[in-house]
Structure 1
Amino acid sequence: MVRAGVGRRLLGPGTRRPRSRTAAGRADVPPGHRQGPVRAAGRGGAAGGSASRPARRGHRRRRATGGHRGPGWPVRRRARRVDDGDADGGGHVTTTAWRADPYADALRSGQGPLFLRRRDGGVIPLEVERWCETPDRADRSVLGRCRGTVLDVGCGPGRLAAALAARGRPSLGIDVSPEAVARTVRLGGSALCRSVFDPLPGEGRWDTALLIDGNVGIGGDPAALLRRLRRVVARSGLLIAECVPEQVDERCEVRVDNGRGALGEPFPWARVGARALTAHASRAGWNVTERWTLHRRSFLALAPAE
């Protein structure tokens, strides 16, 4: 079960709490796809370059933990990243990325504008207002397919995590943005300030995992992300992933941009359509069991391959 409120815990068999230690923030990027530190951002607006369809929110690699203390797992606890061999590569990078002020400010206000700006000047709009509203019909089509315990990867401001909690569904959101985690908690959801590439509670036992709002782009390598989640979800579990409506398969370097001169640091991102996601999933050990589109948003349900 999930207990609401600050300091709540996610309770259940096999869920354990690791010790924590301080470490520099890390990009939520599979090792081997890291970027180095960047120069201070200059001023500039969102104009210029071509705009893509909206991307969603993501999160970056965070802190480190180890060991076990018992069945409880506190909200907003920070953790150690997965060892290099477990995260499909090696190395890490220190960056603000999704913890930069433009993103946190947008979540606090519940309003944009906010973009991911490519190196070529093109922008990918971020749907901050929708993320901060209650679940729409497309979101509810995802919520209705969730079963058992649910892990919301890159939960953002928490609309899905809070809705799952309101339905009595044992669930946990993870996000590397402290502001996103705090907002999720205020809405009544459970959340950890954690990267998907860090050790997670209940690994291998989650019944459902969510990659909604474009979070299949986390780390800039969909195949690596899907391989990671193959180890997080139970063998009988389900992964629901949202993809872009277009048939694209692209990787790019982006920065969070509020259109008023404030920029985050660069990090790798990915955008994939249904065809590309199906191919990446197959290589990562998943089978597509269902596809649907609602309100111009496209989703795939994936099950672990035997």
Structure 2
Amino acid sequence: MAGRDGELQTAGGEVRRLPVARWLGHEHADESLLTVVLDWCHGPTVDLGCGPGRIVDLLLRRGIPALGVDDSPHAVRLTRERGAAALRRDVFAPLPGEGRWSHAILLDGNIGIGGDPARLLRRAASLVEPGGTVVVEVEPATRGVLREAIRVRAAGGTSVWFPWARVGSDALDDLAATAGLRLARWLDHSGRRCAELVR
């Protein structure tokens, strides 16, 4: 998030490039995907794992009340520098407006937070009102649910290992059902896949 290239390493030895430019809002392909996905949001929205706040900022520019949540102080600072509201908090900790948000967002792989997608979807569902939605991104190349330990490496150093998960399209229906959510629609765009789940 400091603008430097980085990579994600798995305990199994896989290395993936981190999409730093996308997180910072520098990729036009990302803008066109977000234009469509954010059209699904019509009321107060909470972005879980907001990173540097590009999604919260875009929602506010549309006149939609939005709050970012991230446990990284750097991410929260970047979000606030955009003029957007953000809390430094674990997504499982108490949050304002629980059960009253219209939408919760889990994009950029954030369905993997904590390494337990079922628990995270239950948490997201608990934040939105009945009839509200949870917008998630899955990985088209992944089948099922892959739980793994990962760490981030960049010019500034290497993080500690932490639990993460990847979710394939084929697993989302069952995960959603355990959270009291129903799949409403899919969006495939520029090699990425997003879904809208309704509480």
With the length of structure 2 as denominator, give the TM-score of the two structures: 0.93
Q: Deviation at 1:293?
A: 0.4
Structure 1 runs of 4+ with >3 Å offset: none
Residue by residue over 1:6-39, the C-alpha shift from the partner in whole angstroms, topping out at 9 and shown as x without a partner, is: xxxxxxxxxxxxxxxxxxxxxxxxxxxxxxxxxx
Q: Give the corresponding residue for 2:147.
A: 251
Distance 2:122 2:156 in 1: 36
SS in 2 for 1:168: coil
Q: 1:290 aligns with which of 175, 181, 185?
A: 185
Q: Give the corresponding residue for 2:12.
A: 120
Q: Which runs of 5+ in 1 are unaligned?
A: 1-106
Percentage identity across aligned positions?
43
Distance 2:109 2:34 in 1: 13
Verify the 8 A CA contact 2:142 2:166 in the aligned structure 1.
no
Verify the 8 A CA contact 1:219 1:268 in the aligned structure 2.
yes
Distance 1:280 1:191 in 2: 28
Structure with the largest fraction of helix? 2
With the length of structure 1 as denominator, give the TM-score of the two structures: 0.62
- Within a 5 Å distance, the mapping from 1:54-203 to structure 2 comes to 107-108=1-2, 110-112=3-5, 114-133=6-25, 136-203=31-98
Q: Which runs of 5+ in 2 are unaligned?
A: none
Q: Give the corresponding residue for 1:270.
A: 165
Verify the 8 A CA contact 2:187 2:193 in the aligned structure 1.
yes
Q: Say which structure, 1 or 2, has more relative contact order (CA 8 Å, 6+ apart).
A: 1
Verify the 8 A CA contact 1:250 1:271 in the aligned structure 2.
yes
Distance 2:8 2:68 in 1: 22
Matched, 1:209 2:104: yes
Residue by residue over 1:209-241, the C-alpha shift from the partner in whole angstroms, topping out at 9 and shown as x without a partner, is: 100000000000100101111211111201110
2:21 is aligned with what amino acid?
Answer: E
Verify the 8 A CA contact 2:118 2:178 in the aligned structure 1.
yes
Distance 2:21 2:187 in 1: 23
Distance 1:158 1:285 in 2: 28
SS in 2 for 1:136: helix
Verify the 8 A CA contact 1:162 1:188 in the aligned structure 2.
yes
Q: Deviation at 1:147?
A: 1.6
Structure with the largest fraction of strand? 2
The two structures, once aligned, show a CA RMSD in angstroms of 1.4
Q: Deviation at 1:261?
A: 8.1
1:274 is aligned with what amino acid?
Answer: S
Q: Deviation at 1:120?
A: 2.3
Q: Deviation at 1:124?
A: 2.7
SS in 2 for 1:299: strand
1:254 is aligned with what amino acid?
Answer: I
SS in 1 for 2:13: coil
Verify the 8 A CA contact 1:165 1:188 in the aligned structure 2.
no
Verify the 8 A CA contact 2:152 2:158 in the aligned structure 1.
yes
Distance 2:36 2:77 in 1: 26
Distance 2:156 2:31 in 1: 31
